[in-house]
Amino acid sequence: MPEVLSQSQIDALLSAVRSGEKDPEQSQEEQQSKKYRKYDFYSPRKFTKDRIKMINGIFDNYTRVINSRLNSMMHTTCEVEVENVEEQRYYEFSNALSEGDVLGVVNASIKQKAEEEPVLFHLSTTVALSMMDRMLGGEGDMNKMQLGDYTYTDLELRLYESMMESLVSVMGRSWENYILMDFTYGRTEVNPTLVQLIGMDETVVIVDIKLGFPNGTGRLNVCLPGTMLTNVFAEINRDNPGRKVTEEDNSEEIFDKLRDSSLEVVAELGSTQMTLNDVYHLSVGDVIDLGQPKNSPVFLEIGGYNWFTGRMGTYKKNMAVKIDEVCFQQPARRSE
């Protein structure tokens, strides 16, 4: 809805145009030159901003956990932070990989139920070689690392798996506030471009994590399959107590069934104790003293509890009780 201008704002705008301080054509050009983010209607977004924000928060916790672990492994200061969380198609992630890249395949399970599609870890070659160099006692200078179509040796692949296993083993902690999940390192793919681990058109969420060392920076990308996240969000919604109340609110249906049920309501004038001999000699016209004045309130009992107070009277020539008030406090059980 366009903003409605007040009369004073309209006068100020007209005076600015007359004086030449503001050019109306210039504002139109600025509006036309403003860049808008393109939305792909062929591939609509599967996850809302709230879901993406939740994933961002989960991996913020994850980066804090692995930060201390990397510091102890590398014996140096390392800064780890989430740079970006974005929903993509898997082919966009796959096309950005080269033949020399290495992917870590991680098996995920939700409440001890294994997921079909794996979680993928991609550590940039430069930072991976730098971390391995530090683990072997070197300085890990990234400026001296050779880029291009680098091929990992068998020893480097074993070190790569060791690093990934250490990072993956603590990943489940960051999900504990929402759901119980387990992550285990599966295998290493040395040529991910030839292996189709996830459908090319499948929706994935890419978590871009920045690794900062004193002599350089690198990237750790985590690819979360859309089907796994859909199952995660479904389980979270199912375990949410607020949602349970909404789904299990069948009060109207219960009341519909109770409306036709019969319920005994007892109006008690008073109580007294008599001997069996007095009861035996009672006859028509005798009066029993209840120990209460005639205008005292009458208690209405439901299920043996006093729920209402009222007054005795008649309605259409029948004995009746007019309700005066409701007993809001804990009803007193009728004494036997």
The pLDDT of residue 335 is above 70: no
Say what percent of the chain tops pLDDT 90. Answer: 8
Question: Stretch 99-118: mean pLDDT, rounded?
Answer: 85
Average pLDDT, the chain: 79
The pLDDT of residue 248 is above 80: no
Task: Measure the CA–CA gap between 308 and 326, rounded to whole angstroms.
Answer: 5
The pLDDT of residue 327 is above 80: no
Range with the poorest average pLDDT among 44-48, 125-129, 178-182: 44-48
The pLDDT of residue 227 is above 50: yes
The pLDDT of residue 89 is above 80: yes
Cα 253–Cα 254–Cα 260 angle in degrees, nearest 5:
100
The pLDDT of residue 247 is above 50: no
Range with the poorest average pLDDT among 10-14, 55-59, 217-221, 282-286: 10-14
The pLDDT of residue 77 is above 70: yes
pLDDT at residue number 24: 54
Range with the poorest average pLDDT among 17-21, 45-49, 292-296: 17-21
Task: Measure the CA–CA gap between 131 and 123, rounded to whole angstroms.
Answer: 10
What are the C-alpha distances in Å from 67 to residues 55, 82, 160?
Answer: 18, 12, 17
The pLDDT of residue 19 is above 80: no
Question: Stretch 278-304: mean pLDDT, rounded?
Answer: 83
Question: Stretch 118-130: mean pLDDT, rounded?
Answer: 87
Say what percent of the chain tops pLDDT 70. Answer: 81
Ordered by where they begin, the domains of the chain are 49-246 (3.40.1550.10), 256-326 (2.30.330.10)
Written in H, E and C, the secondary structure of the chain is CCCCCCHHHHHHHHHHHHHCCCCHHHHHHHHHHCCCCCCCCCCCCCCCHHHHHHHHHHHHHHHHHHHHHHHHHHCCCCEEEEEEEEEEEHHHHHHCCCCCCCEEEEEEEECCEECCCCEEEEECHHHHHHHHHHHCCCCCCHHHCCCCCCCCCHHHHHHHHHHHHHHHCCHHHHHCCCCCEEEEEEEEECCHHHCCCCCCCCEEEEEEEEEEECCEEEEEEEEEEHHHHHHHHHHHHHHCHHHHHHHCCCHHHHHHHHCCCCCCEEEECCCCCCCHHHHHCCCCCCCCCCCCCCCCCEEEEECCEEEEEEEEEEECCEEEEEEEEECCCCCCECCC
